[in-house]
Amino acid sequence: MENPSLLPLLDARLPLTEEKVAEAARLARVPLAQAWGVVRYYPRYRGLPQGRLLVDDPVARARGFARLREAADGSYPPLGLEALSPIYLRFNPEGRFVEWQGSLVPFRDFRLPFSLGHGKRLIPPEPILSLAQYRALGGLQALLALLQGRASPEGVLRAVEEAGLLGRGGAAFPAHVKMRTVAQGASPKYLVVNADESEPGNFKDRFLLEHHPFLVLEGALLAALAVGADKVFLYVREEFEAAQEGLQRALSELEEAGLLPVPTEVFRSGGLYICGEETALLESMEGKRAEPRLKPPFPGEKGLWGRPTLVQNVETLANLPLILREGPDAWRALEPKLFSISGDVAHPGLYELPLGTPLGEALRRAGGELGEVQAVLLGGAAGVFTRDLAFPLRFKERLPLGAGALVAFGRDVDLWEVLLGLVHFLKEESCGKCFPCPLGTAVQVEMVKRRERNRALVQDLAETLKGSLCGLGQSAYWAYQSLLEVEGAA
């Protein structure tokens, strides 16, 4: 690390005053202008309501957003979990609480209260929160093999390549390609675990962090050793306080057991959707506004502080121990993927299913009545509506799988209201660095409000958003365009 990072320095001084901002800037050795630009960028430094994230969860909107907001004391449902069940933030003199299915849970203790859904799976259904428990189930063997010289970094890279693991964060980029780029780079180099999941309907990384911290950490350490990273950073969504603490506890246990071969640190994320974009994430770690960088150069070549950096999604890394335990061929035969299934199904939750499972089958597992499904939002905010229940849930298919969110909508839901929630979310989360995205997402909200169906106009909107700097803008029109297709097919 070249300089102390600005974000933790600001965090330590909340609530901020001008003097405290100036002090943090001095300690981070950055101009006051940079620190001020940062303060005026991230909601938590601007004194906006804490715990608020999704301005406007699309499912909440479909279920009467205004009414929900009143019930939520004027704050907002955190993290799009509204697709699971109504959820509110409560502020009282003792602190912040999450109201979930009738009970109040202190915000910092709140974990997703369900186990992994039924079916053949590689990840244990119940939470594994202690090292002893994890080892009893056969965990840590791949890491021990590597530490004891029974396996090699090249062996890990080869296994990932043979398994054909594609990144689970949404882009589905081959994991081994990124890993090899970093492995070939010169030290110092870094691994950043992208644990900034913050998309409506996606809660699989949150689940893994909260329920399976050792699996995530073993995967991260395997990757770090395989590419020769000098340090691991876990960039964790700011609201996942239980996950942050759980990871700290797990790290202490590993360290005490002498099983933490690479220094590993939990970094509190900037708390915005864009912070999950890998280069924006790196900017925020460097103490800047989380805005995407121009690519090339890619992070594998020039990442954190200009050094080779492997940025990998939580679920992607959690698959490494599974690939090494099962062997690439056996893993590949199962191709496990976590699906966040929510909306109008009887048993919303997390399901591990083989890639290629038909959409309808996935919904049935979660108690969906297929005859009652009007459409499914596939992939979250950067997602598409579809009514093709035979669609095989696989990457690189006709429709984007994204990070694996499936939100089902029943017959009585107004999909245009859902869409309005989505496009409002994207407008609020646009960083504003390039031109097409902030302009296009703002125009899009107005178009959706008036239920604009003019194909030529929507086509021009799409063509222009496509020219955005990063994936947020580039995919911002997908939901809109797909809803028109779904309507046309009806």
Partner 1 sequence: MRLRVDGKEVEVQEGALLLQVAPVPTLCHHPHTETKGLCRLCLVEVNGRLHPACATLAQEGMEVKTETEALRRLRKTLLEWLALTTDLSQAPELLSLMERYGAEPARWPEVAGRKEREALKDNPFFLRDYAKCVNCRRCVDACGDGIMGVYALTLEDRGLLAHPTTPLGRPLPETPCVFCGNCVQVCPTGALRPLTLEVA
CB of 54 to partner 1, least distance (A): 15
Report the residue number, 152 or 459, with the smaller CB distance to partner 1: 459
CB of 250 to partner 1, least distance (A): 34
Amino acid making up residue 296: P
Cis bond upstream, residue 174 (ω within 30) = no
Tell me if 2 contacts partner 1 by CB under 8 A: no
**Residue count at the site for partner 1 (CB under 8 A)?**
45
Residues 18, 255, 256, 414: which binds partner 1 (CB under 8 A)?
A: 18
Tell me if 439 contacts partner 1 by CB under 8 A: yes
Question: How many whole angstroms separate alpha carbon 242 and alpha carbon 207?
Answer: 11
Q: For partner 1, which stretch binds (CB under 8 A), given 279-287, 339-347, 405-413, 467-475? A: 467-475
Q: For partner 1, which stretch binds (CB under 8 A), given 92-100, 139-147, 304-312, 459-467? A: 459-467
Q: For partner 1, which stretch binds (CB under 8 A), given 73-81, 93-101, 332-340, 425-433? A: 425-433
Tell me if 432 contacts partner 1 by CB under 8 A: yes
Tell me if 44 contacts partner 1 by CB under 8 A: no
Tell me if 457 contacts partner 1 by CB under 8 A: yes
Tell me if 447 contacts partner 1 by CB under 8 A: yes
Site for partner 1 in 249-278 (CB under 8 A): 272
Tell me if 54 contacts partner 1 by CB under 8 A: no
Residues 70, 369, 414, 446: which binds partner 1 (CB under 8 A)?
A: 446
Question: How many whole angstroms separate alpha carbon 242 and alpha carbon 229?
Answer: 27
Question: How many whole angstroms separate alpha carbon 297 and alpha carbon 283?
Answer: 14
Site for partner 1 in 348-407 (CB under 8 A): none
Residues that bind partner 1 (CB under 8 A): 18, 21, 31-37, 40-41, 272, 289, 294, 427-436, 438-443, 446-447, 449-450, 452, 457, 459-461, 463-464, 466-469
